[in-house]
Structure formats: C-alpha cells, structure tokens
Chain A
C-alpha cells in the first residue's frame, strides 16, 4: 500500500506535467484536476499505510 501510494503520487504529478506540456486551453485544466485527483488518491493510500497498528510504539 505504501509503494502504491508513493507511485500514485508520482504518477499524478506526471499527469499534471504532461497536461501542462502537451495540452492547450480547457483540456489543461481538466487534466491538471485529474492529476491532482490521482495524487490525492495516492496520498490517502500513503497516509493509511503509515497509521501504526494499535499497541505499536506504545
């Protein structure tokens, strides 16, 4: 889950960067938002993977 989240974060930024480089007009906004959505999904996974189990580090 940690690696999945990490890769989704990077992939989301890749989508944003590709949108800025390759697209023009309204499509840029749509793909920047899509990239950000992928990043948020990755962040959720990454965060969940870091929540320690109960009793850990107590």
Chain B
C-alpha cells in the first residue's frame, strides 16, 4: 500500500496556493498606483509605463536565468513536489508539474513586485531606457542572489548559511527593492527645485492622493495573497492553515496606517493622507517576514512600529540626509522591511533566531546595498540615468513619451511658453 498524500487534499492545497498566487498582481497594481499618484502629473503616464516595462523585464529575466539562481525552496512536499526532484535550469528547464510551475510563477511575480520598488526612488527624473536596463541588473543579480541566501540557504565553504525567517519577503522582496531605491535616489540626485540654496526642502505634493489611497487597498488584497503564498512556499505553512497569515497581514497594515495617522495628527495637527498610505504599506511590508509565525497581537505591534518608523524616516531622509525619495520607497520598503526581519527574530521566541535575522540584515547592508549601488553606478557610465534639465522641466510624459497623461488639463503651462 502506498502511503503518499491524499490526492483530494493535495488538489485542495494546490488550488488554495494557486488562488493566493493569483492575488499577488493586485500588490503590483497597488504599488504602481501609489508610485504614480505620489509623482507629478506631468510624469504620470511615464510612471505607469515604467512600471509595465520594469515588470516585463523582471519577469522575462527571471524566466531566462533569475529563477535558476534563486532555485526551489525545500518546502514543496505539500504541493506534491518532492524536494529532491525539484531543480531549475535556464529558461525554467526542469520545472514541471502544476506545483513546481506555480512556485515559479510566484517567484516571477515576487521579482516583478520587487523591481517596481526602485521606481519610487527615481520618480520624475529617471529615464525609461535606464529603468529597463537597471531592472535587468536588479532582477537578474541583486534580487535572486539574496532570495537564494534566504529561501534556499546554500552551503558556504561547507557551512550551512543560517536559516533566516522571511516567509514572504520583508527582506528579500521589499528591503532589496528599498535599498536599490536608495542607491538610485543617491545616483540620480534630487529633483530640480526640491532643495533651496540654503538646503531647505520644498514640498512637491502628490498629484493624485486618491490613486495613492486606492493603491493601498489594492496592495492589501495583493499582500494577503503574497504573504499566504509565501508562507506556504517559503515557511512550510499548510495551505488550509493560512487564515492566521491573513489575520496577521491585515492587523499589521491596520497598525501601520493608524500609527502614521496618530503621529501625523499629533505632530502636524492634521492626519497626512500620503503618510497614512505609506504607514499602511509599511505595515504590510513589515508583516511579510513573520506572517506565518507571529501571534496577532505581535503582528499589530509590528505594524505599529513600522508605521512610526516610516513617518520618522521619511522626514529624516528628506530633511537631514537630503535624499529626494518622492514615493517614500526607502522608508516604506527598506526601513520597514528591515524592521520586519528583526521583528520576526525578536518575536520568534527561539534562541539564536535573532542572530540569524541580524546576519540577514548584515547581508542586506553589506552585500545588497553595495551590489545595487555598484551595478547602477557602472550602468550610469554607459546609459545616463537622469533626463536632461529641459526634460525634467517639461515633464517626462512629453519629453520621453511625446504625450501627456492628462492632455485636456493645462496644469503646468510653463513648458508651453515659447522662450
């Protein structure tokens, strides 16, 4: 008699997993809306076009060689894939069967989501061609190398790399993207007119806050899928026990949004819509690492801290470090992502896990940041990252695409005046 898994149970598990994976594009759509809404109206179409191009590049690069670098996770038996039988080659060779293919699909969606994060740091000044090539470097090297270290820890000189708890990518997806956004914000420099001659930052408001807030709601749906699918695939959670993951994800988002609302109300006497949005997404980002293991109260605490960190770091980066990050990508994805990794270690309740999480943070700062900075710096020597001064004044829509996102509305007349 065979003692293999019950086929009906396996089918149910697979269907649930597939359902969760199919929710992930909502997170991509949400992030695209947030980035576009927080940018200027004269670069809105360019922002959405950059999202589509970066996403397309990332998924294709992952198909060609990215997934080979990342490799399969050891937790695939409950999807009907014995771990020893799973090995991926170039062009997804060796990826067969519904469980393995859906795992590769999740990996491609995750790489696509991660590749959108750096766009926020370069909003309103990053050329489309440079965006595409930078996405190749990110999704082909930076992201899969760290994903391999965390989700399929290799032997390094005969010693097993520590097991870092990061079920759905607070570190792998979000912090790698956030640190790349920081690299790009540094390499591109601030937008023209962002800082006065005395170094004081000027407020360049979001052009459509409704996009931003609706993007948060879409992101929430996407994160429910991302965290659940990630917990199943990368933390070995049994699919029908994913309810805890869904609860933790929602609680962390709620905590992040409310913390940002309370802090901005106390500091500025009015809640700030774009910072509440950033706090909400910061909560989602921080929830990803420990979503499979945290208790709901600790998920709320993780979200509250993430929301507070996002608000303070947005201000600190803009005022003190002079980093022009129009969408708050560094704060939301890098700072909250690193906090999520640490929180998963602090609240794990296992001796030694916090040290493994610290090794993960050290890898982010000591490997991912220099790698993304170095690769993009070298790329800048060949393909200029930044649009010329005139293009920035005109808006990236007209300069790079030849047409405005909102042609009926004259919201910035200065570029129409013949000089």
Give me the interface of A with B, judged by CB distance under 8 Å. 6, 9-14, 16-17, 20-21, 28-29, 32-33, 35-36, 39-40, 42-43, 47, 50-52, 54-58
Give Cα A42 to B373, complex, Å: 14
For B198, the chain A residues whose CB sits under 8 A away are: 54-55
Partner of B362, one of A13, A47, A56: A13
| Bound-state Cα–Cα, A3 to B198, Å | 27
Q: Is B190 an interface residue (CB 8 A)?
A: yes
B interface list, Cβ under 8 A from A: 156-157, 159, 161-162, 186, 189-190, 192-199, 321-323, 355, 358-359, 361-363, 365-367, 369-370, 373-374
Q: CB distance A57 to B362 under 8 Å?
A: no
Complex Cα–Cα for A41 and B189 (A): 23
Question: Which of chain B's residues have a CB closer than 8 A to the CB of A43?
Answer: 365, 369
Bound CA span A48–B322, Å: 10
In contact, B359 and A32 (Cβ under 8 angstroms)? yes
Contact A20 B189 (CB under 8 A): no
Asked if residues A9 and B358 are in contact (CB atoms below 8 Å), the reply is no
Give the chain A neighbours of B192 by CB distance below 8 A.
Answer: 57
Taking a contact as CB atoms closer than 8 A, the residue among A14, A21, A33 that contacts B156 in the complex is A21
**Given A20-B159, A21-B157, A39-B362: A58 in contact with B355 (beta carbons within 8 A):** no
Do A51 and B321 have beta carbons less than 8 Å apart?
yes
Question: How far in angstroms is the closest Cβ of chain B from A42?
Answer: 8
Set of chain B residues within 8 Å of A20, measured between Cβ atoms: 156, 159, 161-162, 359
User: Who on chain B is nearest to A52 by CB?
Assistant: B322
- From A29, A50, A56, give the contact of B355 (CB < 8 A): A29
Given A21-B156, A57-B195, verify A36-B361 contact (CB < 8 Å).
yes
| Distance in Å: Cβ of A39 to nearest Cβ of chain B | 5
B193 CB, nearest partner CB in chain A, Å: 7
Measured CB to CB, the closest approach of chain B to A44, in angstroms, equals 11
Query: Out of A13, A28, A55, which one reaches B365, CB within 8 Å?
Result: A13
* Contact among B358, B365, B367, B370 for A32, CB-based, below 8 A: B358
Which residue of the partner chain A has the closest CB to B317?
A47
Smallest CB separation, A40 vs chain B (Å)? 8
Give the chain B neighbours of A40 by CB distance below 8 A.
365
A32 & B159 in contact (Cβ 8 Å cutoff):
no
Contacts of B186 in A (CB 8 A): 50
**Nearest Cβ in chain B — how far from A30, in angstroms?**
10
User: Can you sample 21 A-B contacts with CB below 8 Å?
Assistant: A6-B370, A6-B374, A9-B365, A9-B370, A10-B367, A13-B363, A16-B359, A16-B363, A17-B156, A21-B156, A21-B159, A29-B355, A32-B358, A35-B366, A40-B365, A50-B322, A52-B195, A56-B195, A57-B189, A57-B190, A58-B193
A11 to B163, CA, bound (A): 22
Nearest-Cβ distance from residue A50 to partner chain B, whole angstroms: 5
With A9-B370, A33-B358 as contacts: A52 and B363 at CB distance below 8 Å: no
